[in-house]
Amino acid sequence: MINTELNYGDVYLVPKKTIVDSRKECDTSVQFGPRRFDMPIYPSNMKSVVSAETCEAFARLGWFYTMHRFNVDAAAFTADMQSKGLFASISVGVNEDTHEQLNALKAAGLTPEYITLDIANAWCVKAERMIKHIKQTFPGSFLIGGNVATAEAARDLENWGCDAIKAGIAGGRVCITKNKTGFHRPMISTVRDCASAVSVPVIADGGIVEHGDMAKAIACGASMIMAGSLFAGYDESAGEIVEINGKHYKEYFGSASQFNKGAYVNVEGKKILVEYKGSIGKLLRELKEDLQSSVSYAGGRDLTALRAVQMIQVHR
């Protein structure tokens, strides 16, 4: 039997009676681990999306962030962020260099508030070993594990010790895993399956095209949302500026691309150019305003209202 599954563009949410006088009354904040954040969406931990400067900017605004793990000194980054009175949120992998990074953190007496185990398919024995090692070494850190795409995988990561789980495989704009390997699940189905299977928060990672997709992800059970291309191309974004025929663009490439790896081996990502968009402030204001509108259409005052809306499939 072949299952039919859904992506964000395949569904819409049915409006309910609005109970606020103004959408500005709607609260978009979310408790995630030890902290509360102004919005439930944050930039992907990709080298072409976030830099140390990006992370500091988001932390100062009260938004969540995760620094990428590529050629980053996790101890130095953690020390720098915490010395500024900000929280530290780092990414790690599963290979030997991760043990070196963790040992350096431990030796320096540093504990990042958030650690993201970031690999393509976290439903594997290497991830299981690393998750248990991190929880034993840094019990005070909030551990995010990912990525996975099924209920069974999400349950395993919760049982291994993850405090939150990142759901989504091959859904990103610069990810070509589905083309190279044939493996992928649409995001509506992925998030619903994973969120219904675990008691810890689920992060919907990938596939955000329209701002309304935030509300759809939360309606599926996601507590947080990660997006890459949405946050690419701004002053505060990572990536090099390129000029072509008088127009400016910024590079945006996948973590599994040759541009990130430095070599053409096991390539499952690509590079594209996104239009240079200036300061990110306008986007952040618009994202918040649009999510406030979503909450008002859901008939509530905060994000919990989105969990109770009816979702309908549309045929495109």
Closest by CA to 114, choosing from 105, 123, 122, is: 105
Residues 94/117, Cβ–Cβ less than 8 Å = yes
HEC secondary structure over 17-68: CCCCCCHHHCECCEEECCEEECCCEEECCCCCCCCHHHHHHHHHHCCCCCCC
Q: Is residue 194 flagged as an active site residue? A: no
Q: CA 228 to CA 123: how far, in whole Å?
A: 22
Residues 234/279, Cβ–Cβ less than 8 Å = yes
Q: What is the DSSP letter of 175?
A: B
Omega before 179 cis (within 30°)?
A: no
Q: CA 100 to CA 10: how far, in whole Å?
A: 44
Select which of 26, 162, 175, 220 is catalytic.
Answer: 175
Which residues are marked as active site? 175
